[in-house]
Structures are given as C-alpha cells and as structure tokens.
Chains A and B, each alone.
Chain A
Amino acid sequence: MTNETSTETRVDRVIEERKTTDPQTQVESDSATGSVPGVIETKDMSVYYGDFRAVADVSLDFGRNEISALIGPSGCGKSTVLRSLNRMNDLVATARTEGQVHYHGQNIYAEGVDPVEVRRTIGMVFQKPNPFPKSIYDNIAWGAKINGFRGNKSEMEDLVHEALVGAALWDEVKDKLGDSGYSLSGGQQQRLCIARAIAVKPDVILMDEPCSSLDPIATLRIEELMLELKENYSIIIVTHNMQQAARVSDKTAFFNVKLDDSGMRTGRLVEYSPTEQLFTSPREKDTEDYITGRFG
C-alpha cells in the first residue's frame, strides 16, 4: 500500500524547496501584439526634468480604436510618458523630450507644430475631476469655444447634447444644465470632463488615472464609458489599478524603475503585450513579479 504519510511529506518538502528556488515559470510566448494600425507611435522617447532622466528609450505603438493601458509602480514614468504624448509636458519649464512621438506618422515635436492643436487632437482627462467653475452647459460650451468652435446657438446646443450623451451623462443632467458643474458627484464630474474632452472632437483621449478618486460604482461607469468611447476614439490610460487595466484595455505596457549606468533611477518600458497575455502569461520576469506582488 502507498504510504500516505510519507507521500504527503514529499509534497510538503517539494513545496518548501520551491520557495527557496526561483519559482518563475518559463514562458515563451509569441511576442506579436496583434496591433491594428497605430495612431500614436513613440520611437526611443526619453523625457528629462532638468538633468534627471525620468523615462528612457520608450518605443510604443498605440492602436487605433483601442484602449492601451500604461501600468507600473510609482515613479516608473508612466504618467510622464502619457503627458508626452500630447506635449502636456511642455507646460513644465524643466521638461525636455528626446526621440520622436508620431501621430499618424507626423512628429508632434517637430518644428512648427502647434502644441495647442496637438492637445486639441489628443485630449486629456486628469486624475481629479476638474470642471470649470461654470454651469454644466458652459463646461462643454466654453471649452469648445476656446478651442475654436464657431457654430451658432442651435449648433452649440447640439454639440453640448452630443458630448453629454457621448459621456453617458445626458440623462442625469438634461434637466439641470444651468446648475454648476461642482453640484455633480465625483463620478459625474469626471464624466463631465470626458464630455468636455470629446466636445472638441479629439482623435485620441489620454486618461491619467481617471478613476483614482472615484468610488467603485462610479469607476465601473467610467470603465463602461471607455469601452463605448473606443468605438470612435483611441484611448490611452494610466492606471494603478491592474484589474482596471485587465478589464478595459486591449494592450498593456508595463513600466518599471531601473538604475541606469550612473546609478540614477529611470523609468523603462519592460513589456508591451496584448492585455490578456500580459496578465496571464507575461513574457518578462519583471512583469510577472510585479503582477503577482513580488516586487523589489
């Protein structure tokens, strides 16, 4: 007869042994990301704040009508990368971007490119909802006007309606368009900001941790909205929430902090894969360590 006690001891022993060796599995997967034609492409992009290189040599291709997620630990440079994609970093005096960022093949950092036009085409939604201190209606209308909207009153009403419907907010605010944007809940304010962003007809929407100040229900509404928006827009989102990245994104880029040759901590792109692959069978050990909570 099999000795049950001794075999169980064997199981225990091997499990204990495994703990002291590297338990990582050897994953050899197809590295192809299966991208649809890209909308934004970075080539060897590095971003500096003064002498400090925050992120180095990032080459990424973001697909059209896809949601791409940027994840990684604090300080890995993911928000810096996001802000470089529409020249938002230009607003930081010490910031400097090297390499190239192509939008439909055109380098947005090339001489003569208007950064305001770049930001209109590649919009951004921020971590904390930041409605203007104006009515719900004017949050959309004013944003559109300063971005060059020249239609009449009726056309403006159509635009406001369209943007609020697009941001899944219309039904909740249609009877109080004159109320202050601040009267809305946090989740509604964030959707108002999304409505404001899409009212100027961007092509790409960047989202910098758009749900980090929202409760779980408001978060799910924004996620649902993102899935609807990707029919018409390309979305790139920075999130600390890996489950959120797993739920909404088509592709995920994992960034990590590495020491460079001079001992400086610099953000590096570790892996860019289809989301399902990255969260089930990542190619890189660093990714595996991060998503399973082994980090150092």
Chain B
Amino acid sequence: MTGIKDTNVHFHQELEDLERKVLSMVERAEQMVEMAVQSVITSDLDLAERVVTLDDGIDSTYLEVHQDWTSLMARNQPMGSDLRRMTTLIQLNATFERMGDQCVNIAKIAQLNEGLPRVERICEQIREMGDLVRPMIRTAVEAYLRRDLDEARLLPAMDHPVDRLNANMYKETVAVRDNPELLEWATKMLMASRALERVGDQAVDFGEQTAYLITGERAEFDEDGLAQALNEDTDN
C-alpha cells in the first residue's frame, strides 16, 4: 500500500466498526450453540435461559447493524470491494441473527422436554452434531477474516457429517415409536437436530458470502466446496 493515501478514512473506519459489530454476533452465536446443545442434552434449564438472553443481545445488535448499514450506504454509496463488503455484511447480519434463533429453538426444546425420559444415544448424537457445527462456524470466521477462499471451500465437506447425523435422527426417532413418552422426547430432539443442521447450512452460507467478497461472483458451493461459477477461474 506504499504511496496510497486513503481519502475515505472516516468511511473505512465506520465500515470496520460495522464489521466488528457483525462479527461479534457470530462469536456469540458460536458460544450459544455450545450452551444450547449442553442445555438440551443435560436438561439444564438455567443454561437454556441464558441462551435466550444471549439471543436478545444478538437481536439488538441485528437492529443496530441495520441502522448503521443504512446510514453508511446513504452517506457514502460505496463501490468496489467496499460495496462487496457492505453487501456481504448485511447478508451475514441476517445469517447470524438466524443462527441465534436456531440456538433459541434448541434451548426451548430443553424446556419442553423437562421431566421426560431420554435416550443417551440420541443425546450423544446431538452432542456430536454440536461438536461438528462449532468448528464450522470457527472455520467460516477465520476464512472471512483472512479472506481465504480455500478455507471457505472446506465448509461443505465439514457439513456432510452433520447432514448425515441429522438424517440418522429420523431412524433413531422411529426406533422409539413404541414408547409414547420417549417418542415425544425424541420427536423434539429431532427438531433440535434439524436446528443444528440449519446452523451448519448457515456456516456454509457464511463461506459462500466470503467467496463473493473475495471473487466478486455470486455462487453456491457444490458438494465438494467448489462453487460452479468459480471453477474455471481457480482450476486454471
């Protein structure tokens, strides 16, 4: 950057502040995934309540980001990588807000399942899904921060086992169909599994946003993490 003078210092500072604010949401969401999973498999209602409280914080940041973003756009009409960063941030704002909502869904299942019998195998599977999803969020954050397209492309492969475990939950639920109380509990755990699977998808979406930020091309990752529209550029 030698010799380059930033004549847009105030805007770039505000953009950076906005980015920090948006990323603070995903940091919180990652923490909430762990707390929500823990609450649902141990029936820890206090922990579940803390998840709901943390989500209130995410919702409030979501609204602040919207306001800041609108003001920045109106005042600056950014272009080039600044414009891509702005469009990425507003999309990530929605993605992270939904991640928080999924965690609340899981925490609420902890409350709904209170007092019901449980199946350890299913609890272990939910724990495993949580253990798979959190590194996905971490990977997506790192890929974004370092503008690392290769790292972003790891996400679909990381999501495969989450999808597989979610699909297996249906079988586990059917397996307890003869016990009404267990079936009630397992059906709700199926919803928790589905919520975790969605968080995994949202982490992949985060990676796709990062790919757009880097390349300027909108594309969805395919199963191998190679976005269709990006293949030609990167394989050459």
Interface residues of A (CB under 8 A from B): 1-2, 4, 7-8, 10-12, 14-15, 18, 22-29, 242-243, 246, 277, 279-282, 287-289, 291-296
Asked whether, in the complex, the Cβ of B4 is within 8 Å of the Cβ of A292, the reply is no
6 residue pairs A–B, Cβ–Cβ below 8 Å = A15-B145, A26-B215, A280-B84, A281-B84, A281-B216, A294-B8
A281 contact from B80, B145, B146, Cβ within 8 A: B80
The total of Cβ contacts below 8 Å across the A-B interface reads 97
Q: How far is the CA of A296 from the CA of B3 in the complex (A)?
A: 6
Q: Which residues of A contact B231 (CB under 8 A)?
A: none
Distance, CA A28 to CA B27, complexed state (A): 31
CA distance A15 to B233 in the complex (A): 27
Residues of B within 8 A of A (CB-CB), count: 39
Contact of B215 with A291 in the complex, beta carbons under 8 Å: no
Does the CB pair B31–A2 fall under 8 Å? yes
Let me know if B233 and A28 touch, CB within 8 A.
yes
Say whether A292 contacts B19, CB under 8 Å. no
Nearest A residue to B11 via CB reads: A293
Report A-chain residues with C-beta under 8 Å of the C-beta of B34.
1-2
**Do the beta carbons of B147 and A25 come within 8 Å of each other?**
yes
Task: Evaluate whether A292 and B216 lie within 8 angstroms (CB atoms) in the complex, with A11-B27, A281-B84 already known.
Answer: no
Residues of A within 8 A of B28 (CB): 4
**Contacting residues, chain B, for A242 (C-beta < 8 A):** 79
Contact B19 A15 (CB under 8 A): yes
Residues of B within 8 A of A11 (CB): 20, 23-24, 27, 141, 145
User: Does B120 belong to the interface (CB within 8 Å)?
Assistant: no
Find the A residue at minimum CB distance from B3. A296
List of B residues within 8 angstroms of A288 by Cβ = 80-81
Contact with A along B167-200 (1 / 0, CB 8 A): 0000000000000000000000000000000000
B78 adjacent to chain A (CB < 8 Å): yes
